[in-house]
Amino acid sequence: MYTVHVALTDRSYPIYIGERLLARGELLMRHMPQKRAALITDTAVAPLYLDAVANALGSAGVSVTPVVIPCGEQHKDWHTLNAVFDALLANHCERKTTLIALGGGVIGDLTGFAAATYMRGVPFIQLPTTLLAQVDSAVGGKTAINHPRGKNMVGAFYQPLAVIADTTTLGTLPTREVGAGLAEVIKYGLIRDPAFFAWLEQNIDALTARDAGALAYAIQRSCENKAEVVAADEHEESGQRALLNLGHTFGHAIEAGLGYGTWLHGEAVAAGIVIAARVSHHMGLISAADIARIAALLERARLPVTAPDLGVERYLQLMGIDKKVEGGRIHFILLRGIGSAFLTADVPQRALTAALAASVKRD
Amino acid sequence: MYTVHVALTDRSYPIYIGERLLARGELLMRHMPQKRAALITDTAVAPLYLDAVANALGSAGVSVTPVVIPCGEQHKDWHTLNAVFDALLANHCERKTTLIALGGGVIGDLTGFAAATYMRGVPFIQLPTTLLAQVDSAVGGKTAINHPRGKNMVGAFYQPLAVIADTTTLGTLPTREVGAGLAEVIKYGLIRDPAFFAWLEQNIDALTARDAGALAYAIQRSCENKAEVVAADEHEESGQRALLNLGHTFGHAIEAGLGYGTWLHGEAVAAGIVIAARVSHHMGLISAADIARIAALLERARLPVTAPDLGVERYLQLMGIDKKVEGGRIHFILLRGIGSAFLTADVPQRALTAALAASVKRD
């Protein structure tokens, strides 16, 4: 087991990475103020891991309320959140009852927001079971639900007491989900860690083949990168944390434009990263060879590198209500090179339009 | 203008108390990171003060999006909150757009929760226009909406950047609302400030007659008491802040049992305070004369001192899902004397039943 520390003074917490951690009730118990928990998962994860975690907790003397919600990004909404509140209240869950998120990014985001707001905040532990959640969404305290007008528009910064990433769960992950997670892994290399990007180029086939050692290192290095960024800029105020959104402004537009759940989040981010790279190239910041190198790695991770053809106007419209808007101007994360991202509102409309036009797939 | 300081390190803020403050756009501006605001109010307050505040802001160069929601506790729910999010998104409100709550406790609680969760948190200023909001709900950062299974069950701790209490607004307040505010004022005397309680006994007629000087002093002393408690125990962890809930466990049961909006919150708290006093008396903690003194002051403030007859069983059931439950046991705030409250889970069922039976009004 490897431990990454997220340093946030009184809200610091460990990320445990290792095999067969879900069955270790004492690891969970260590971070629970009371022997009561609500275990929140979805219809895809419940048949695989709910019993194992519930039994591990039961053996440790913890009374567990399981809450199973429908699977998919399209259920990350108020309706499902309210179903969770109903279950918590019906089962008399209290201010010191720990909410445990067992699942992928949707479960983690929604459970985290439930924990942030149920009775004005209750203890919260993340048990991410997808690669994307283990390397990104379970770490850093961003929680949210979607709104019909935009993804993650309603949420809170709310840190977990611990993140337990059981790498064994990646064995049951659908192939598309592995790719979606790798999009965020590649992102860390692109924005701030060129050595990691080079390592990924060497090891991408081992990762898609789910080599345990390669995956464990990729998760560790991703969590270390994310922990450093979050410790420096927890609430996305200084601009550092915003860099983690490379490809996300375009990605969110893809997800919203197609309807949430059509493309996986990581797939949309992959296509979005290529658009961001093209914008950077149009502005003379990176070379065509850099774009090719980025697209090649994403393709080897079995990720889409062209975006759906929603029309340039629709893309611009979808991005107009993105959270990263300030003073009416859209902020973009661009690349100065592989391993070096920056935030700017100074993007010519022409570069944007050209990059979008060059990036869409026409059927 | 008198200023009370709420000391919360990097989340410290001022409470300004004085006449005709709503028209002072520069006071608001001082606390806004951007010249954009959404002004959230209800159908009762909008005709009285919306134009004045919007014009004051407009004159200061602030672009204002007004959002008017229906009036009343029964609208402090997800449906109304979502209507606020719709308006914010439709008007492209951003991460640095300030949400301004103009109204009573419902507006403050709901707007505060909207500010806590819109795009994971935006700037927030309270302009309380009721006595209850000026002395209690606008101060301290508790925000929430109601859930069908319980009051304030979904919310967040989220501090405003400033509270601006314009005492002139109390002139337009319905008589019942003045009484409801006085219930919380009297509460401060009861839990921690015996000298203030004695002052209230001397000045209660001036307060119900809305004497400006008396009201300003009562608001100032209430805010000073609340600020001290909140600074010592912001997140209601040490037990100090919980004392502010004297009468509230019973009060919430009354509100939920009758349906939110039937009794005003302060009215329910008044009857709840008398029940808490009776429980304290049954446990040998205060004298019958103390109960009489408390009830007399509440009655002079034109507040109910008997509770609706929902049946003892129904009261216990309604309290079973209260937020102040820990390890399955209900925590109560009781009195050791006038000016001295304490928190305990050690209340004999008999004392509870007897106090409830003695406190209900049979029609």
Least confident stretch, A341-345, B12-16, B97-101, B310-314: B310-314
A325 to chain B, minimum CA–CA distance in Å?
6
Query: Which of B34, B143, B149, B154 to mutate to test binding with chain A, by most A CBs within 10 Å of its CB?
Result: B154
Average pLDDT in chain B: 94
Residues 92-111 of A with CB under 8 A from B: 92, 94-96
CB contact under 8 A, A94 and B327: yes
With b for 16 or more beta-carbon neighbours within 10 A and e for fewer, the A42-76 pattern comes to bebbbebbbeebbebbeebebebbbbbbebebebb
CATH architecture entry for B175-361: Up-down Bundle (1.20)
Please report the pLDDT score of residue A326 as a whole number.
58
Which carries the bigger pLDDT value, residue B361 or residue B315? B315
What is the per-residue DSSP string for B46-104? IIIIIHHHHHHHHHTT-EEEEEEE--SGGG-SHHHHHHHHHHHHHTT--TTPEEEEEES
Which residue in chain B is spatially nearest to A330 when comparing CA positions? B94
Annotated catalytic sites of B, by residue? 120, 142, 184, 226, 236, 241, 245, 248, 252, 265
Does B326 sit within 8 Å of A95, measured CB to CB? yes
pLDDT band at B256 (very low <50, low <70, confident <90, very high): confident
Q: What is the pLDDT along chain A (363 residues), one digit of tens a residue?
A: 999 999 999 999 999 999 999 999 999 999 999 999 999 999 999 999 999 999 999 999 999 999 999 998 889 999 999 999 999 999 999 999 999 999 999 999 999 999 999 999 999 999 999 999 999 999 999 999 999 888 899 999 999 999 999 999 999 999 999 999 999 999 999 999 999 999 999 999 999 999 999 999 999 999 999 999 999 999 999 999 999 999 999 998 999 899 877 999 999 999 999 999 999 999 999 999 999 999 999 999 999 999 999 998 899 888 875 555 555 578 899 999 999 999 998 999 899 999 999 998 765
The verdict on a CB contact (< 8 Å) between A156 and B120 is yes
Q: Which CATH architecture has domain B2-172?
A: 3-Layer(aba) Sandwich (3.40)
Only one residue has tokens 């700017």, namely A344
Which has more pLDDT, A81 or B323? Answer: A81
pLDDT at B328: 57
Contacts of B89 in chain A (CB under 8 A): 147, 149-150, 153, 321
Residue A147 touches partner B, C-beta closer than 8 Å: yes
Q: What is the mean pLDDT of the segment spanning B302-306?
A: 97
| pLDDT tens column, B196-209 | 999 999 999 999 99
Strands (E) in A131-242, as ranges, are 142-147, 150-157, 162-166
DSSP for residue A315:
H
Query: Is A120 an annotated catalytic residue?
Result: yes
CA distance A301 to A179: 6
Burial of A120 (0-12, 13-18, 19+ CB in 10 A): buried
Closest CA to B254 of B180, B186, B188: B180
Q: Would you call B323 and A95 a contact, using CB atoms and an 8 Å cutoff?
A: yes
Beta-carbon separation of B321 and A150 below 8 A: no
Q: Which residues of A touch B156 (CB under 8 A)?
A: 116-117, 120-121, 156
pLDDT at residue B151, as a whole number: 82
Within an 8 Å CB–CB cutoff, is residue A79 touching chain B? Answer: no
Q: Are A154 and B118 in contact (CB < 8 Å)?
A: yes
A328–B144 CB contact, under 8 Å? no
B327 vs A273, residue with greater confidence: A273
Among partner residues B89, B144, B154, which is closest to A149 by beta-carbon distance? B89
Does B89 sit within 8 Å of A153, measured CB to CB? yes
pLDDT band at B84 (very low <50, low <70, confident <90, very high): very high
Which listed residue (A120, A149, A237, A362) is catalytic? A120
- pLDDT of B284 reads 97
Say yes or no to pLDDT of B324 above 80. no
Tell me the residue ranges of DSSP E strands in chain A.
Answer: 2-6, 13-18, 36-42, 63-69, 98-103, 124-128, 142-147, 150-157, 162-166, 307-308, 325-326, 329-330, 332-337, 340-344, 360-361
Q: Is the ipTM of this complex over 0.85?
A: yes
**Helix H or strand E encompassing B360:** strand B360-361
pLDDT recorded at residue A248: 94
Q: Is B89 on the interface with A (CB under 8 A)?
A: yes
Q: Residue A219 phi/psi, 5° resolution?
A: -70, -45
Domain ranges of chain B: 2-172, 175-361
CA torsion angle for A121, A126, A131, A136 (degrees, to 10)?
Answer: 40
Mean pLDDT of B286-314: 96
Contact A121 B320 (CB under 8 A): no
pTM equals 0.92
Distance from CA of B116 to the nearest CA of A (A): 7
Which of A89-93, B8-12, B171-175, B292-296 is most confident?
B292-296
Is 90 exceeded by the pLDDT of residue B35? yes
Question: Shortest CB distance from B82 goes to which of A78, A89, A320?
Answer: A78
pLDDT for A148 equals 86
pLDDT tens track for B222-245: 999 999 999 999 999 999 999 999
pLDDT at residue number B73:
85
Question: Which residue in this structure is represented by tokens 């009573």?
Answer: B104
Q: How confident is the model at residue B362 (pLDDT cuts 50, 70, 90)?
A: low
| Phi, psi (rounded to 5 degrees) for B339 | 100, 10
Per-residue model confidence (pLDDT) at position A151: 82
